[in-house]
């Protein structure tokens, strides 16, 4: 591809995305539908900017799905995955089995041979991981019961693709299956040409290698990279990791999506997890977008125009049949009704794996192209209507269950996301964090000094690596769900930056900030930070109290003197921070600061010469008597 | 002679530096054998009371004295906090709460108002014994024997060198006698205040022997 051609292509795709996605978003249609429509518009049928190379682009963009599964893996601690084993195997397994049986039966009914019928049944049982998860995430439904069930089923389907691919050549009508699959998403097992037992050993070895590597190798490597403090190196390393795993899986004939998913799960409790997430996220987003666009562009509208009733009827039939089977399974697995509807609406479409499997089946001469082509169109259209179905569910169906929904909302407190984020886990943040943990609140901890992280990890602390002033990292650390943000870093300028950033992007977060000195405290107070603590104030005050005690002042009196001092000092701090708010000139400000200090010292003096504390003074009483 | 009674003085005064009478009283008993003076405000300026340590102190003593000025017909705040925390269910009362059974309880208080104020016609309307009923009942519920209280009244008008000296001497005598079991218990309960009939309550010969 020539450079110019490449840039033109990139230009077309990007313009389409940039124009259609925000519009779709604004109209409440969600980004997925925006991408799909953009694809339709630039595709051969409407504007014709994208021709046959759209298919190559799709294969390339499928890597976005691989990245998505890696990110999903990162979010899934192994314990959580283990907890989901019943929905994954039970719900997922039954969904694939029943849907396959149903569509096989229908195909047989229409007189297709059983091999073709089974192939079609299997392919149509799959749903679209990319569209469903992206849409669920966008709507914030991923953590609901329905969302989790959808995820479980999708995960099972992604695994089920591998045996399906293996089975496909066996269904070939004329024997002699020689097709080579070159798509990146899934690779047939005959790729390596080794005997079966060697193949099996190779596969097991690779998976074990990924797990062991993830456990023991990744940490020192990331540590090494982090020490360079070059952000792009980290990004490069993250990409290298994902691509490397994808390649390795491809070499041994496994699904790269599955491989990166496993790697993600292995790295889920790694301290670099949030950093990895925020580095991969934009790539995943763009590639997925590209993927959706190419799906939109690949829809053959000529077929649709030739047989509109047949195609649309099939789209509708597929969606309704899948919906009914999903809903029944949801009932069987005791999903609450509104969650069950979400689950059934979300998964009632064909998936991107169907494109792969259809082309593979055609190559292997399982399906003739006059059968597979209309079906590809059906799957693509069913994918397009998924975001629409989700909107229907959200706007028309769910409101009927709103009362039940509210009640459920309350106990959806997510065990994955912590209500408190502590930025900076050095001398200051540690004390805050330890107190929180001692009282049953697990904060998400972020620290940018790798050696500090290693030390804390050795003592069993979960601390994540990352520069706290980055918006994407705050996202990854769960700032949307959190309630409090403790800024405990020791760089005053960066603290102010973070405060501004958080006020802008996460206005719901209450901020507790560490101030390095009085001036810094003024800045923070003026920014409306909820809690400002000067880092040395309380300990210095405590020491002053101890000094008073050693001088012979009774400890309760010294204690009260300390409290009174603190009260006045904090009050003065607030007043001064507000009073000087409108001053602009630097000179005047520093002069004012000097005056403030003088005032402060004087007022302290007055406090000392006067009786600090009038409590329990009986001299008046005695005069009275 | 048998072992002396161990006496625990739980002293609560938030402003020792401003105190006249209580300071003298404490000074009068400071250093006595088998008498532990436990200054609550000094020990717990932030009111964070170490419950376990306090309970162990109680177990190690036979006579518990609440010594404090009589603020608003009760004790200063920390002593209430102390009761709320230390006299736990299962320790001091309730099922299995027998740790204090058989111990003796004494209130030692100072009141600003004079004796004439603590009667139906006075401005405090109730007698000191009536106003001390919550403490008496607390002792009762904990299975302790409630002794007539030691009360110094009219502290606002007390002269440094006359009555005040007498009160401090009385206090020392009473604490010492309690420690050495030199009390005529029969007689004691005939008095409203322990310091009203000292010459009848204390057994004189033994007392001089020990002091």
Distances (CA, A) of A524 to A512, A519, A572: 10, 9, 15
The span from the CA of A304 to the CA of A117, in Å, is 22
In this predicted structure, which of A37-41, A185-189, B39-43, B180-184 has the lowest mean pLDDT? A185-189
Partner-chain contact B14 A615, CB within 8 Å: yes
The span from the CA of A235 to the CA of A223, in Å, is 14
Mutate to test the interface with A, among B11, B13, B15 (most CBs of A within 10 A): B15
What are the chain B neighbours of A554 within 8 Å (beta carbons)?
A: 16-17, 41-42
Q: Which helix (H) or strand (E) holds B37?
A: strand B35-39
In this structure, the number of other CB atoms found within 10 A of the CB of residue A327 comes to: 18
Partner-chain contact A616 B18, CB within 8 Å: yes
Q: Give the nearest partner residue to A554 out of B16, B156, B157, using CB atoms.
A: B16
What are the chain B neighbours of A621 within 8 Å (beta carbons)?
A: 112, 156
Please report which confidence band the pLDDT of residue B209 belongs to, taking 50, 70 and 90 as the band edges.
Answer: very low
Q: What pLDDT does B94 receive?
A: 92
Residue with the two structure tokens 């109209």: A27
**How do residues B81-134 score in pLDDT, each as one tens digit?**
999 999 999 999 999 999 999 999 999 999 998 989 999 999 999 999 999 999
Which segments of A168-272 does DSSP mark as H helices, in order? 196-212, 218-228, 231-251, 256-266
Looking at the complex, report in whole angstroms how far the Cα of residue B184 sits from the nearest Cα belonging to chain A.
37
The distance from CA A404 to its chain's CA centroid, rounded to whole angstroms, is 27
- Pick from B15, B146, B138: which is nearest to B71 by CA? B15
Q: Which chain A residue's Cα is nearest to B154?
A: A625
What are the chain B neighbours of A560 within 8 Å (beta carbons)?
A: 45
Q: What pLDDT does B52 receive?
A: 94
What are the chain B neighbours of A557 within 8 Å (beta carbons)?
A: 15-17
Partner-chain contact A617 B157, CB within 8 Å: no
Q: Is A251 exposed, middle or buried (0-12, 13-18, 19+ CB in 10 A)?
A: middle
Q: What pLDDT does A184 receive?
A: 41
The span from the CA of A484 to the CA of A441, in Å, is 12
Q: At what angle do helices A518-526 and A555-579 cross, to 10 degrees?
A: 60
Q: What pLDDT does A193 receive?
A: 59
SS3 per residue for A103-156: HHHHHHHCCCCHHHHHHHHHHHCCCCHHHHHHHHHHCCCCCCHHHHHHHHHHHH
User: At a CB cut-off of 8 Å and minimum separation 6, what does B38 contact?
Assistant: B8, B9, B10, B11, B57
Looking at the complex, report in whole angstroms how far the Cα of residue A619 sits from the nearest Cα belonging to chain B.
9
Would you mind telling me the total number of residues written for chain B in this entry? 211
Partner-chain contact A618 B14, CB within 8 Å: no
**pLDDT mean values, one per 10 residues, chain A (625 residues):** 72 87 79 83 80 70 80 79 84 92 91 88 89 82 84 85 76 52 42 65 83 84 82 85 86 78 83 83 84 80 83 90 92 86 88 79 81 84 84 81 44 54 90 88 83 74 77 83 91 91 90 92 91 94 94 90 84 75 51 60 50 61 66
What are the chain B neighbours of A563 within 8 Å (beta carbons)?
A: none
Partner-chain contact B46 A624, CB within 8 Å: no
ipTM of the complex: 0.82
What are the chain B neighbours of A556 within 8 Å (beta carbons)?
A: 14-16, 41-42, 45
Q: Give the nearest partner residue to B18 out of A555, A618, A624, using CB atoms.
A: A618
Partner-chain contact B17 A557, CB within 8 Å: yes
Distances (CA, A) of A88 to A73, A80, A85, A99, A235: 14, 12, 5, 16, 32
Mutate to test the interface with A, among B11, B14, B21 (most CBs of A within 10 A): B14
Q: What pLDDT does B72 receive?
A: 94
Which segments of B60-197 does DSSP mark as H helices, in order? 77-86, 128-131, 133-141, 163-180, 185-188
Partner-chain contact B41 A556, CB within 8 Å: yes
Return the higher-pLDDT residue of B6 and A200: B6
Partner-chain contact A556 B112, CB within 8 Å: no
Mutate to test the interface with B, among A618, A620, A623 (most CBs of B within 10 A): A618
Q: Which helix (H) or strand (E) holds A309?
A: helix A308-332
The span from the CA of A366 to the CA of A528, in Å, is 67
């Amino acid at each position: 591809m020539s450079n110019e051609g490449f840039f033109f292509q990139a230009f077309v795709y990007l313009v389409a995305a940039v124009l259609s996605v925000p519009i779709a978003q604004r109209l409440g249609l969600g980004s997925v539908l925006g991408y799909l429509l953009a694809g339709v518009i630039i595709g051969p049928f409407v504007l014709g900017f994208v021709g046959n190379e759209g298919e190559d682009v799709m294969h390339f963009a499928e890597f976005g799905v691989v990245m998505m599964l890696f990110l999903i893996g990162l979010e899934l601690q192994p314990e959580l995955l283990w907890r989901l084993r019943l929905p994954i195997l039970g719900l997922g397994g039954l969904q694939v089995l029943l849907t396959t049986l149903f569509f096989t039966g229908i195909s047989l009914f229409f007189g297709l041979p059983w091999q073709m019928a089974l192939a079609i049944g299997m392919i149509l049982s799959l749903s679209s991981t990319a569209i469903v998860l992206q849409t669920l995430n966008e709507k914030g439904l991923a953590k609901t019961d329905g969302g989790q069930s959808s995820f479980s089923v999708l995960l099972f389907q992604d695994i089920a693709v591998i045996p399906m691919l293996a089975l496909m050549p066996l269904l070939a009508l004329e024997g002699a299956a020689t097709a080579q699959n070159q798509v990146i998403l899934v690779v047939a097992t005959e790729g390596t040409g080794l005997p079966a037992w060697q193949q099996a050993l190779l596969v097991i070895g690779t998976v074990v290698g990924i797990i062991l590597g993830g456990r023991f190798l990744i940490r020192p490597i990331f540590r090494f990279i982090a020490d360079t403090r070059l952000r792009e190196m980290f990004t490069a390393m993250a990409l290298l990791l994902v691509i490397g795993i994808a390649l390795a899986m491809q070499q041994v004939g496994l699904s790269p999506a599955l491989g990166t998913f496993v790697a993600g799960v292995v790295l889920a409790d790694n301290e670099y997890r949030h950093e990895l997430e925020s580095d991969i996220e934009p790539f995943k987003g763009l590639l997925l977008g590209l993927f959706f666009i190419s799906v939109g562009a690949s829809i053959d509208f000529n077929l649709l125009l030739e047989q509109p009733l047949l195609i649309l009827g099939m789209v509708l039939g597929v969606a309704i049949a899948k919906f009914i089977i999903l809903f029944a399974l949801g009932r069987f697995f005791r999903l609450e009704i509104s969650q069950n509807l979400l689950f059934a609406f979300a998964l009632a479409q064909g998936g991107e794996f169907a494109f792969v499997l259809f082309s593979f089946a055609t190559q292997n001469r399982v399906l003739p192209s006059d059968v597979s082509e209309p079906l590809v169109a059906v799957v693509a259209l069913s994918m397009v209507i998924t975001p629409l179905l989700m909107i229907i569910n959200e706007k028309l169906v769910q409101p009927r269950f709103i009362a039940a929904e509210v009640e459920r909302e309350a106990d959806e407190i997510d065990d994955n996301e912590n209500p408190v984020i502590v930025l900076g886990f050095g001398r200051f943040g540690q004390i805050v964090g330890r107190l929180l943990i001692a009282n049953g609140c697990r904060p998400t901890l972020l620290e940018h000094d790798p050696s500090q992280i290693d030390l804390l990890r050795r003592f069993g602390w979960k601390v994540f690596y990352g520069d706290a002033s980055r918006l994407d990292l705050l996202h990854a650390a769960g700032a949307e769900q959190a309630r409090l943000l403790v800024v405990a870093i020791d760089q005053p300028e960066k603290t102010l930056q973070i405060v501004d950033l958080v006020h802008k992007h996460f206005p719901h977060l209450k901020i507790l900030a560490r101030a390095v000195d009085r001036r810094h405290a003024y800045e923070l107070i003026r920014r409306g930070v909820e809690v400002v603590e000067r880092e040395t104030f309380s300990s210095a005050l405590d020491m002053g109290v101890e000094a008073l005690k050693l001088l012979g002042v009774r400890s309760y009196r010294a204690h009260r003197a300390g409290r009174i001092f603190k009260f006045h000092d904090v009050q003065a701090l607030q007043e001064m921070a507000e009073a000087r708010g409108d001053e602009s000139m630097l000179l005047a400000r520093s002069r004012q600061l000097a005056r403030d200090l003088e005032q402060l010292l004087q007022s302290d003096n007055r406090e000392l010469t006067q009786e600090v504390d009038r409590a329990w003074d009986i001299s008046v009483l005695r005069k009275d008597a | 002679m048998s072992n002396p009674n161990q006496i625990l003085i739980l002293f609560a005064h938030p402003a020792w530096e401003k105190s006249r009478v209580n300071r003298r009283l404490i000074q009068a008993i400071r250093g006595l054998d088998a008498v532990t003076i436990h200054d609550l405000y000094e020990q717990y300026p932030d009111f964070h009371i170490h419950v376990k340590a306090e309970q162990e102190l109680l177990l190690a003593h036979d006579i518990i004295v609440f010594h404090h000025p009589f603020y608003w017909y009760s004790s200063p705040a920390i002593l209430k906090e102390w009761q709320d925390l230390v006299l736990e269910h299962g320790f001091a009362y309730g099922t299995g709460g027998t740790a204090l059974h058989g111990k003796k309880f004494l209130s030692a208080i100072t009141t600003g108002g004079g004796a004439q104020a603590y009667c139906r016609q006075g401005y405090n309307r109730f007698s000191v014994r009536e106003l001390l009923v919550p403490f008496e009942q607390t002792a009762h519920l904990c299975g302790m024997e409630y002794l007539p209280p030691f009360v110094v009244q009219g502290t606002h008008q007390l002269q440094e060198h006359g009555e005040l000296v007498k009160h401090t001497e009385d206090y020392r005598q009473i604490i010492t006698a309690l420690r050495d079991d030199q009390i005529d218990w029969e007689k004691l309960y005939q008095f409203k205040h322990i310091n009203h009939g000292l010459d009848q309550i204390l057994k004189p010969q033994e007392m001089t022997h020990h002091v």
